[in-house]
Amino acid sequence: MGVLLVSPAEPREYWCLGKSSSLPEKYGADFLFATEQMGLVGIQRKRFPDDFLASLRGQDRVSRELQQMKQLDYGIWILEGMGTWTNDGYLVYGGRYKYYEEELWGFQLSVGKMGFNLFRVRDQASCIKLIQRIQVWSSKDEHDSLFRRPKPARWGEAGSREWSIHFLQGLPGIGYGLAEKIVDSFGRVPFSADFSYEEMSEVVGPSRAKVVCELFGVEVKVKIKLPRGSKENRGRIV
């Protein structure tokens, strides 16, 4: 995991995250790091509501920083602090700027439309944890967990009724009810397999091949390893 650069303008509490450098500011960020997987990653932090509103309404820094962040491969905004709101959606704020909750929603949507993620955290401690988590996440080789069907809980083995129902729900148009009806009618996943355990083992390994074969009703043949020198049952298949 690469070095995280922290803008010298950040409070001292954030210096523990990495090395002080003014480079992040050239990218409209307060924190900057690079990974092989994600490229150049920049994080802009705004304390909410005072720092955020001063940057948005008074100094117009937000617009400039958003444009600078387009140089990044991955840009993230963090609003630190939740604020207090009235029942009518007004921000309870002692500063000079009035702000409505709907305006904040619009800002979040606009930032997302520009291709940046926006997080809101409760306080400084949560912000530090989030930045650390972002750096770890950005170093992962894969980010496909949301594209996978959830694994079945600890309810049965591969080839069991529950496993078969779970498998069938991965087919287009097959929900739980239809999957259950299919399994109860055929007693299994009603597909024929044109592979052997040995062939599947060469592709995915013995343990995973056993799971696949049990699901499709393919006979699993395992060679018994006898002690060296033993002639009895040599090469026996069970």
Return the pLDDT at 235: 47
Give the pLDDT confidence of 149-181 residue by residue, as tens digits. Answer: 555 555 566 667 877 888 788 877 788 888 888
Return the pLDDT at 228: 65
What is the per-residue DSSP string for 151-212?
PP-SS--TTSHHHHHHHHTTSTT--HHHHHHHHHHHSS--------HHHHHHHH-HHHHHHH
Residue with tokens 């988590």: 133
Domains identified in the chain and CATH numbers: 5-138 (3.40.50.10130)
Contact (Cβ atoms closer than 8 angstroms) between residue 53 and residue 99: yes
Q: Note the pTM of the prediction, 2 decimals.
A: 0.64
Residues 216 and 198: their CA atoms lie apart, in Å, by: 14
In order along the chain (238 residues), what is the average pLDDT of each group of 10 residues? 91 96 97 94 96 86 94 97 94 87 96 96 97 94 64 60 80 82 83 82 84 78 61 48
Closest among 127, 123, 81 to 104, alpha carbons compared: 81
Residues 153 and 101: their CA atoms lie apart, in Å, by: 40
